[in-house]
Amino acid sequence: MKHLTEEDLVLLYYSEPEAPAHGQLHLRDCPECRGAAESLALTLNVCSEWVVPEPDAELGRSVWAQIAPQLEVQGGSHAKRHWARHLWGRPRPWLWVAPALLALLLGTFYLGRVSKRVESPVMAGLSNAARQRILAISLADHLDRAEMLLTEISNAGDSGAADISSARYRAQDMVDEGRLMRQSLAEQGDTATLALVDEVERFLLEMANSPDNANAAEVQSIRQRIDSGSLLFKVRIIESNLRTEGQKS
Amino acid sequence: MPQSEEITLSKVRGGDRDAFRALVDQHARTVFRLAYRMTGNETDAEDMVQETFLRAWKQIGKFDGRATFGTWLHRICTNCALDHLRLRQRRQAAQPAYHAGEDQSDPVALVAAESPSPERLAMSSQISAILGPALEELTEMERAAFILRHYEGMGIEEISVELGVQPGAAKHSVFRAVQKLRRVLEPAMANSR
Ligand SMILES: [Zn+2]
């Protein structure tokens, strides 16, 4: 009598159509193969005990908040399509890693200062120049994200009312982050950058407080203010300067 | 395909972000479950869910409606997983001194740390303490084929379509995966008895 192979047993376990037709019959009559099948089943059944942690009920929402700014415009002929493609066309995953790092760096930096200058060992070892470079890079990232947000709003209202909820959540996060930046800029006396960060923050606050489904007029009003103050342009200039500064060694 | 899904999809093809957002809401958790099995940890799984939907948005014009949207999304997620696992294996090959438990992407450490205490999860974390490293021994093709067969309940034929390989290759990936897992799990199970 020809015994079943391990492959036969795997196919039988999963009830694959390719499993040998005589398989079940053979298992009934052959203790050796039955033993092998039971041992295989035991191991595979153990694998089934591995359960996936229940995903967060808000998962869809958080996924949307992360991907919305990266979605390319498709179909139709948006007036700002080219610009949107330029911004969102390439995924920039580092942008979503940067805030965590930045919060960590700035958090330790400034909490250290206000709380009797007790700093983490990582930050304590840094020279002033190094700290300034970190701040410059963090600020550039902050402005980069602000720029994405402003552009998103700027593009949103083309067809009337828009769902700006994901932008709103991000704006909320960025308001807190911006506060740390402004504090440090004030200490350093960098008034030009400070004025811009202030101006950005006013938009962020306005965004953070706007309804999820802003009506066409509301979106239009925010857009006009972004366009008329050439805010995006200024953000890009300062951001680019900060990047250069951050790369100096 | 249900008519309502057909309507939503035609809106998405026209660039309707709200319609796409509804699809994200509807499918994110299902995609997460697959992504979690493929990667073995929540952080990578969440990144993969994002990547899956980004690719879906970009490729929506290629979706021909022969499968359901969920099936199509499943396939995209599997492809993301293959890319991710390839990258991870290359990274691990460059770091020979890999110790389970020290790396935050280690599924064992994460499941053990994050699982609440219900009995099923306690059992699961014991299982994954052995299964996690065992799965790391598989090639990306073997892992993907096994996850699809064992956890997603897909047949060999379907797996071959999803992975874009011949049915024979899909079948052998499942066999090799089972063999390797038995080699690691069975002695461990014998010891724990
Ligand atoms: Zn036999």
B187 Cα–ligand 1 center, Å? 24
Measured in angstroms, the CA of A51 and the nearest CA of chain B are apart by: 6
ipTM above 0.95, yes or no: no
More confidently predicted of A14 and B96 = A14
Q: In this predicted structure, what is the pLDDT of residue A99?
A: 45
Measured in angstroms, the CA of B52 and the nearest CA of chain A are apart by: 10
* B61 to A74: CB separation less than 8 angstroms, yes or no: yes
Give pLDDT tens digits for B18-45. Answer: 999 999 999 999 999 999 999 998 999 9
The CA distance from B13 to B17, in Å, is 10
In a domain, A91, yes or no: no
Number of domains in chain A: 2
* B179 to A47: CB separation less than 8 angstroms, yes or no: no
Give the residue carrying structure tokens 């047949």: B155
Instruction: Read off the pLDDT of each residue in A92-97 and give the average, rounded to a whole number.
Output: 38
* B181 to A43: CB separation less than 8 angstroms, yes or no: yes
In a domain, A174, yes or no: yes
In a domain, A132, yes or no: no
Within an 8 Å CB–CB cutoff, is residue B2 touching chain A?
no
State the architecture of B1-95 in CATH terms.
Orthogonal Bundle (1.10)
Measured in angstroms, the CA of B55 and the nearest CA of chain A are apart by: 9
Measured in angstroms, the CA of A157 and the nearest CA of chain B are apart by: 12
Q: In this predicted structure, what is the pLDDT of residue A32?
A: 97
The domain limits of chain B are 1-95, 105-193
- The range of the structural domain enclosing residue A146 comes to 139-247
Q: What tokens appear for A159 in the block?
A: 């067809």
Q: Please identify among residues 10-69 of chain B the ones whose CB lies closer than 8 Å to any CB of chain A.
A: 13-15, 17-18, 20-21, 24-26, 28-29, 32-33, 36-37, 42, 46-47, 49-50, 53-54, 57-58, 60-61
Instruction: Read off the pLDDT of each residue in A139-166 and give the average, rounded to a whole number.
Output: 65
Give pLDDT tens digits for A52-78. Answer: 888 988 999 999 999 998 887 654 333
Q: What tokens appear for A176 in the block?
A: 């807190």
Instruction: Read off the pLDDT of each residue in B74-79 and give the average, rounded to a whole number.
Output: 94
Give residues whose Cβ lies within 5 Å of ion ligand 1.
Answer: A 3, 30, 32-33
CATH class of B105-193: mainly alpha
**Interface test with chain B among A39, A47, A62, by most B beta carbons within 10 Å:** A47
Q: From A49, which residue of chain B is nearest by alpha-carbon distance?
A: B124
Task: Judge whether residue B144 has pLDDT over 90.
Answer: yes
Strand A162-163 with A213-214, pairing: antiparallel
Task: Judge whether residue A36 has pLDDT over 50.
Answer: yes
Given pLDDT bands bounded at 50, 70 and 90, which one contains residue A163?
Answer: low
Task: Judge whether residue A151 has pLDDT over 80.
Answer: no
Instruction: Read off the pLDDT of each residue in B123-129 and give the average, rounded to a whole number.
Output: 75
In a domain, A82, yes or no: no
DSSP per residue, chain B:
--HHHHHHHHHHHTT-HHHHHHHHHHHHHHHHHHHHHHHSSHHHHHHHHHHHHHHHHHHGGG--SSS-HHHHHHHHHHHHHHHHHHHHHHHHHH-----TTTSTT-HHHHHHHH--S-HHHHHHHHHHHHHHHHHHTS-HHHHHHHIIIIIS---HHHHHHHHTS-HHHHHHHHHHHHHHHHHHHHHHHHHH-
* A55 to B24: CB separation less than 8 angstroms, yes or no: no
In a domain, A78, yes or no: no
Given pLDDT bands bounded at 50, 70 and 90, which one contains residue B88?
Answer: confident
Task: Judge whether residue B64 has pLDDT over 80.
Answer: yes
DSSP per residue, A61-113:
HHHHHHHGGGPPP-SS--TTHHHHHHHHSS--THHHHHHHHHHHHHHHHHHHH
Instruction: Name residues whose C-beta falls within 8 Å of residue A168's C-beta, 6 or more positions apart in sequence.
Output: A207, A208, A210, A212
Task: Judge whether residue B75 has pLDDT over 90.
Answer: yes
Measured in angstroms, the CA of B98 and the nearest CA of chain A are apart by: 23
Instruction: Read off the pLDDT of each residue in B165-186 and give the average, rounded to a whole number.
Output: 95
* B186 to A43: CB separation less than 8 angstroms, yes or no: yes
Q: Are A113 and A205 in contact, with CB atoms under 8 Å apart?
A: no
Q: How many residues does chain A have?
A: 249
The CA distance from B129 to B110, in Å, is 10
* A18 to B111: CB separation less than 8 angstroms, yes or no: no
In a domain, A86, yes or no: no
The CA distance from B171 to B192, in Å, is 31
Within an 8 Å CB–CB cutoff, is residue B112 touching chain A?
no
Fold agreement between B1-95 and B105-193: no
